[in-house]
């Protein structure tokens, strides 16, 4: 049974049932079992993942070609002519007899043998392969029926920030799932107005939108439970030591990621109403996601009303 990034599975040894990350399993005896193979990933997302802080020059991955069905590409983290970290891409071509090659001067029986060769020496590539790209951690599955949850199921851990309308906390749901909790000050909005809007917000699912998991509305203050983004807001991250070191290509990529999310919101005939760096969150691997979409519509405040 598949559930987003997590699949329900049964252990053949213990017969126990549980959820497992879909990117941790693959059909036996296929390329998908290799740690260096990334299925269903675009060229651009390959670059984003390889340039994430967890990876270093020489990190690599194999992905399916976007332009040629059934073909593969090798992506390697390296440097460009200006010394800026970048990603180089190489087409892996197939022989009629089923072999594979990047350079015609040497071919391999399978991609595993190709990887082994280029781990020993670059042999025409930008550098020799070092280690496979670190795969991003899948978010723990969320019970789709757990929408209005008990306040007792949330354990606050650390206050992350405070704003005009409430605070943001790092928390645990049922002591298992790491989440972010936004508490809204009493009087910020009516429960009825918030629930109407939240029911629409939870239907918006996209890789560039922060996931809205659940709410607590029976007791004030209202809690909004979302996925946790470890680098906080884009506004604060750009002021941090790590953020200050980012170069123009990465900043442009941030803009592109945000645009992807906004294009999705527009496609769904929805309006954010308050897009700014403080409402964009950054993950551990430097992926941007838009937050607080829809809240501006229901917050009872003159400043927001004036923007209608």
Residues designated catalytic: 274
- Residues 171, 155: Cα–Cα separation, whole Å: 5
Q: Is 182 among the annotated ligand-binding positions?
A: yes
Which residue carries 């991609």 as its tokens?
111
Q: CA angle, corner 183, sides to 181 and 185, nearest 5? A: 175
- Is residue 92 within 8 Å of 102, Cβ to Cβ? yes
What the block records as the tokens of 219 is: 């007791």
Strands (DSSP E) contained in 22-112 are 37-38, 60-64, 72-79, 85-94, 100-101
Cα–Cα distance, 128 to 109 (Å, whole number): 20
What do you get for the CA distance between the two ends of the chain, in Å?
44
Across the chain, where does the E strand assignment appear? Answer: 2-3, 6-10, 17-21, 37-38, 60-64, 72-79, 85-94, 100-101, 154-163, 166-173, 177-184, 212-216, 222-227, 280-282, 288-290
Best CA proximity match to 49, nearest among 22, 83, 76, 73: 76
Instruction: Cite the annotated binding site for ATP by residue number.
Output: 182
Instruction: Cite the annotated binding site by residue number.
Output: 182
């Amino acid at each position: 049974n598949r559930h987003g990034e997590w699949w329900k599975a049964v252990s053949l040894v213990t017969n126990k049932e549980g959820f497992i990350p879909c990117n941790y399993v693959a059909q036996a005896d296929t390329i998908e079992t290799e740690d260096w193979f990334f299925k269903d990933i675009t060229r651009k997302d390959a670059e984003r993942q390889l340039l994430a802080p967890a990876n270093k020059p020489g990190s690599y991955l194999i992905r399916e070609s976007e332009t040629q069905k059934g073909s593969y590409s090798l992506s390697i983290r390296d440097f460009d002519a200006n010394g800026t970290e970048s990603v180089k891409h190489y087409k892996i071509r197939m022989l009629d007899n089923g072999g594979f090659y990047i350079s015609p001067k040497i071919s391999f029986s399978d991609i595993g043998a190709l990887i082994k060769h280029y781990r020993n020496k670059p042999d025409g590539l930008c550098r020799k392969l070092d280690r496979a790209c670190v795969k991003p951690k899948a978010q723990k599955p969320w019970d789709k029926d757990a929408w209005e949850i008990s306040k007792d199921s949330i354990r606050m851990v650390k206050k992350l920030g405070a704003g005009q309308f409430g605070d943001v906390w790092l928390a645990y749901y049922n002591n298992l799932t790491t989440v972010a909790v936004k508490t809204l000050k009493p009087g910020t909005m009516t429960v009825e107005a918030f629930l109407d809007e939240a029911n629409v917000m939870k239907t918006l699912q996209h890789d560039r939108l922060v996931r809205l998991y659940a709410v607590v509305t029976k007791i004030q203050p209202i809690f909004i439970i979302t996925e946790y983004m470890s680098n906080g807001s884009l506004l604060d991250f750009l002021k941090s030591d790590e953020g200050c070191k980012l170069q123009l290509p990465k900043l442009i990529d941030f803009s592109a990621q945000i645009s992807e999310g906004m294009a999705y919101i527009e496609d769904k005939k929805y309006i954010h109403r308050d897009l700014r760096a403080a409402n964009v969150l950054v993950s551990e691997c430097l992926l941007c996601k838009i937050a607080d979409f829809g809240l501006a519509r229901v917050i009872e405040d003159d400043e927001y009303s004036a923007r209608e």
